[in-house]
Amino acid sequence: MVLIILILLYYGFQPGDSFWLVLAPMAFLLKIPFAVPLLAGLSGSLLSVIPVSSGVVIYFIISYVKQNAGVLTNDASVDITQKFVQIIRGLLSNQEMAVMIMVCVVGILCVYMLHNMSLDYAWEIAIVTGTIAQLAAVFVGDFMFHVSMPVPQLLAGALVSLLVALLYHFFVFTVDYTRTEYVQYEDDDYVYYVKAVPKVAVARTDVKVQRINDPARGRHERRNIR
């Protein structure tokens, strides 16, 4: 029922980014939860908060069922209705899930707003700032909700997530800020100021091919002509 509610909520707002529902739980399982907000902020929109947050909820549902599999599958304990109520209560009282949803929202908002600004190296600044903002949100949530999280694991996951986001930026959107140009033109109503930043392109080498005739073939052709 929880999954159905999440899917209906998701498809009502942002049906085009269904892969975030899968990538978010996978990132948590790989111990790099900060990577998904960074990538969503770079390539998605502000509505990407909905599928990413839904993916976080799905991960914690899976984690809760895994940790309490013995109680939930015991037929002699309680009936099926009480088991569902127990799962819902466990999710609603899970402070760590609330903190991680807040962290993802902060990361997506920070990266999305910064990388759309007219700044040199805006994407790199957005990635680094988004990583720092997520770490700060984790520590704020730890202080407010008393959620204990392993600091070394968080720092290692943040570093790996930062590298993943930089690799994504390198292979998808790399520009050369050394050749930035500012263009100004106008029409009857407006004056336009345009900042043009060219993409990084690999220079093609000018290859010259020189054909050399075979001497033996040349002598054979001259003999036939005679």
Following CA atoms 131, 15, 168, 136 in sequence, which dihedral angle do they give, to the nearest 10 degrees? 0
Spell out the long-range contacts of 111-118 with Cβ–Cβ below 8 A and sequence spacing 24 or more. Answer: 111/37, 111/38, 111/40, 111/41, 111/42, 112/41, 112/42, 112/44, 112/45, 112/46, 112/48, 115/41, 115/42, 118/195
Domain extent listing, the chain:
2-174, 178-225
Q: CB atoms < 10 A from the CB of 124, how many?
A: 17
53-63-32 Cα angle (round to 5) = 60
| Residue 35 structure tokens | 């990577």
User: Which residues, in sequence order, are bridge partners of residue 181?
Assistant: 196
pTM: 0.72
Nearest to 111 by CA among 191, 52, 153: 52
| Residue 7 structure tokens | 């899917």
Euclidean distance between CA atoms 106 and 130, whole angstroms = 8
Euclidean distance between CA atoms 90 and 60, whole angstroms = 10
Place of tokens 């990266």: 111
Helices 2-13, 80-92: axis angle to 10 degrees equals: 50
Nearest to 25 by CA among 35, 17, 14: 35
pLDDT of the chain, 226 residues: tens digit per residue: 666 776 676 666 556 677 888 889 999 999 899 999 999 999 888 888 888 888 898 888 888 888 777 766 666 556 677 777 777 777 777 888 889 999 999 999 999 999 888 777 888 899 999 999 999 999 888 888 777 778 888 889 999 999 999 998 888 777 766 677 778 888 888 888 887 777 776 556 666 777 776 555 555 555 555 5
